[in-house]
Amino acid sequence: MKTLQDYTQEKMSALWKETGTIIAFSDKQFELERVKDVEYVGMGMGLIVPKINVKKLAEKTTLIHKQGVLEDIAENGKEKIILRELSNHEAYYTGEIDDAYETLNLYGFSKEDVYKMYRNKNHKF
């Protein structure tokens, strides 16, 4: 089953190219990738974007993720998505649903929705 990243990765890569966004975890990587005379802003986790494109990157990233969520729900449905994230976050091993819920909250699913699926022993993976 696809994950949200599968629905957004291609569009995000195109957006990074369009906005001149680079990923660098060291000064050496940054120097190899940067464009001279462009002022950059670090966005965290190695993501570096030209200052003039920060707003554009943020706004379009939000839209891409919203569209990805809608595509994921349309293709997989609520129950399968919740089960996928419970499994991805190893909720059945840890006994905790909080990490899965953090991801699923982006989908508009409630903590009660997640807990009901977690407690349902009749679901099929």
In a domain, 36, yes or no: yes
Phi-psi region of 11 (alpha: psi -120 to 50; beta: other; left: phi over 0): alpha
- In a domain, residue 125? The reply is no
Is 67 domain-assigned?
Answer: yes
pTM, 2 dp: 0.83
| Amino acid (1-letter code) at residue 25 | F
Whole-number pLDDT of residue 120: 86
Residue 115 covered by a domain: yes
Cross-strand bridge partners of residue 41: 49
Q: Each residue of 11-61: pLDDT tens digit?
A: 999 999 999 999 999 999 999 999 999 999 999 999 999 999 999 999 999
**Residue 121: per-residue pLDDT:** 62
Give the domain range for residue 91. Answer: 4-119
What domain count does the chain have?
1
